[in-house]
Amino acid sequence: MKTIIVTGGAGFIGSAVIRHLIENSDYHVVNFDKLTYAGNLESLVSVADHPRYHFEKGDICDHRQVKNAFIEFKPCAVMHLAAESHVDRSIDGPAEFINTNIVGTSVLLEVARQYAKELEQSHGFRFHHVSTDEVYGTLGETGLFHEQSPYQPNSPYSASKASSDHLVRAWHETYGLPVVITNCSNNYGPYQFPEKLIPLMILNALAGEPLPVYGKGDQVRDWLYVDDHARALCLVMEQGSLGETYNIGGHNEMMNLDVVNTLCRLLDAKAPQHPNSVTKYEELISFVTDRPGHDQRYAIDAGKIKRALGWEPQETFQTGLAKTIDWYLDNQPWCDHVRDGSYQGERLGLVVGD
Ligand SMILES: NC(=O)c1ccc[n+]([C@@H]2O[C@H](COP(=O)([O-])OP(=O)(O)OC[C@H]3O[C@@H](n4cnc5c(N)ncnc54)[C@H](O)[C@@H]3O)[C@@H](O)[C@H]2O)c1
C-alpha cells in the first residue's frame, strides 16, 4: 500500500490532483488541509467515500500535527499545495502568506527530512513542491519563462512562494532531501474559488454585477486547464528527476481583457437570459484602478516537461473555458455555498485577481 499526502487537497488544484489520483492510480491519498476560506470538502464529494481516500484536518505550520500525519500514514510522497494563493489578499495582509507559505513549508521540510532519514535509503520517498511562474517576475513583450529564469518576485504572494522554492532547493542541496519542484501558470477550471479572474467574471456576469478589469486589461497571462495541470503534477511526482524544476504552462497566452470578452461571448450563447436588461454580458465590463506592482506579462516555456516526461496540455483555451462555464452553470449550489461568508476585504469584487 503506497500513500501520498496531498497538502491543500481541499483547494482548487489540490482537489483536482486528488480526484486524478483516486481515478487513475492505486495510491492511497491523504488530504491534509486546514480548511481555510479556500478549502472546501464539497469539491471532493466524488471521492469522499472511496476506500483509498482519507481527509486529515491539519495545519502545515503545526509541527506536531504534521509529524503525526507522517508517523500515521507513512507516505511514499508528499505533494505540497497548501498555501495562501491570492495576490490581492497578499497585498492587503502579507503576514498570513509569510506564515503559511514560508514557515509552513519549512515545517513540512523539517518533518520530511527527519522522516526520510529514518527510512532506509529514503525508500524512494519524494517531496513535490508546487509553485508558480510568478516567482520569475514579469516579462516584456517577448520571451518566455524557463527553468533557469532568474527569480524576481514582485508581490508579497510571489515573494513568499519564491522563498518557499528556495527552502525546498536548499533542503535538497544541504540535506539531500529528495525533492522535485514545479512552477505553473494561471490555472482555471471547475471548483475554483470565485475571487480569481475567471470564476469571478462568470458569477458576476450571471448575477448582472460589474466585471471589474484592472487598468486597461492589457496584462498577459498563460492559462492552464486544471486537469491538465493535475496530470502534469502526478507525472512529475512519480517520474521527475530529483532536484529538478519543471515549468508547466498551457500554451494559451492571452490579455486579461480578451479573456473576459471571450468569456462574455460564450456566456451570451450558453446563458442567454441576460440579467439587469443588458443585451450582451460585455456591457458589464468596468475598468478599475490597476493593482499595485501588477506584473505585465507571464508566459511559460514548457518544453522541458514535454521532452523529459512527454506531457502536453490537452485543452485549448476555448475548450477549457467552455467546460469551465458549463461546470459553473451546472453547479450553482457549490458557488452559492463557497460565496457564503467569503472574504469581505476591500479588494474582492473591486479588482481582478490571478
Ligand atoms: N491557482 C493558480 O492559478 C496557481 C498558479 C500557480 C501556482 N499555484 C500554487 O498551487 C497551489 C494550490 O493553489 P490553489 O489555487 O489550489 O489554492 P487554493 O487557495 O484554492 O487552496 C489552498 C488550500 O490550502 C489549504 N491551506 C491553506 N493554509 C493551510 C495550512 N496552513 N495548512 C494546511 N492547509 C492549508 C486551504 O484550506 C486550501 O484548501 C498553491 O501552492 C499555489 O501557490 C496556483
The pLDDT score that the predictor gives to residue 121 is 64
User: Which atom, in ligand 1's list, is nearest to the CA of 59?
Assistant: 32
The pLDDT score that the predictor gives to residue 340 is 73
**Residue pointed to by grid coordinates 509541527:** 63
CA dist 315 and 311 (Å) reads: 12
Give the CATH H-level superfamily of domain 3-189+223-252+296-315: NAD(P)-binding Rossmann-like Domain (3.40.50.720)
Ligand 1 close to Cβ of residue 353 (< 6 A): no
Instruction: Say how many CA atoms lie within 13 Å of 232 toward its Cβ.
Output: 34
Q: Give 196's strand partners.
A: 353
pTM metric for this prediction:
0.95
Ligand 1 close to Cβ of residue 247 (< 6 A): no
The pLDDT score that the predictor gives to residue 137 is 96
The pLDDT score that the predictor gives to residue 341 is 56
Ligand 1 close to Cβ of residue 155 (< 6 A): no
Top mutation candidate among 5, 79, 81, 246 for ligand 1, by most atoms within 8 Å of CB: 81
The pLDDT score that the predictor gives to residue 350 is 40
The pLDDT score that the predictor gives to residue 352 is 43
CA dist 94 and 271 (Å) reads: 38
Ligand 1 close to Cβ of residue 8 (< 6 A): yes
Residue 85 alpha carbon to ligand 1 centre in Å: 5
CA angle 189, 301, 240 (to 5 degrees): 80
The pLDDT score that the predictor gives to residue 210 is 95
CA dist 134 and 184 (Å) reads: 9
Residue 152 alpha carbon to ligand 1 centre in Å: 21
The pLDDT score that the predictor gives to residue 175 is 96
Residue 131 alpha carbon to ligand 1 centre in Å: 10
User: Which atom, in ligand 1's list, is nearest to the CA of 188?
Assistant: 3
Residue 130 alpha carbon to ligand 1 centre in Å: 9
Residue 84 alpha carbon to ligand 1 centre in Å: 6
The pLDDT score that the predictor gives to residue 343 is 38
User: Domain ranges in the chain?
Assistant: 3-189+223-252+296-315
Top mutation candidate among 6, 31, 36 for ligand 1, by most atoms within 8 Å of CB: 36
Catalytic residues: 133-134, 157
Ligand 1 close to Cβ of residue 249 (< 6 A): no
Residues of the chain with pLDDT under 50: 343-353
Q: Closest Cα to atom 13, ligand 1: which residue?
A: 13
